[in-house]
Amino acid sequence: MVTSNVDIPYDLHGESVLVRRPAIPLWWNDVSRPHVALVFVEASSRPIIRYYLSERGDGASFGKAPLNVLELDNLPEGAIIEVRFSAIMVNLYQLVMIDGVPCWHWIGRCRGLHDFDLDQVDWLSILSNNTFESPLMN
């Protein structure tokens, strides 16, 4: 597992990052294989499990196929998503409600994977931190 490239954004910048909507890839690319996935940790064996919330769309615009993503604000509060743009850029966000408005707390990032094997992203170092409790983590 690659852990050296995984870090917490506010550890680097000195403050927490909260956004109304996370940046999501718009277009499918056969090489970088972008995706959005719901992430949680299996309680018994502790592997990271991903449920993909995106897929390659039908049709093409200017030779590109869109990346279709489910509505993220309908997820339960505390849900954690992984947003992959490419093999060198993956972000982790947690849904929080602020005054009844769904927002996303940027809780992790991975830069520079060694290959395209997504299982190489080891989020356990971040997800095992009690700061990021999720109702989806058993």
pTM for the whole thing? 0.77
DSSP 31: T
pLDDT on residue 22: 93
Do 104 and 21 meet the contact criterion of CB atoms below 8 Å apart? Answer: yes
Mean pLDDT within 17-41 = 89
Residue 3: pLDDT over 60 = no
Q: What is the pLDDT of residues 76-127, one digit of tens each?
A: 999 999 999 987 788 899 999 999 999 999 888 877 655 555 555 666 666 6
CA pair distance 63, 46, nearest whole angstrom: 41
pLDDT on residue 120: 56
Under the phi-then-psi rule, with left for phi > 0, alpha for psi from -120 to 50, and beta for the rest, what region is 112? left
What lies within 8 Å, CB to CB, of 66 at 6+ separation is 26, 27, 28, 57, 59
Residue 32: pLDDT over 50 = yes
Residue 55: pLDDT over 90 = yes
CA pair distance 97, 95, nearest whole angstrom: 7
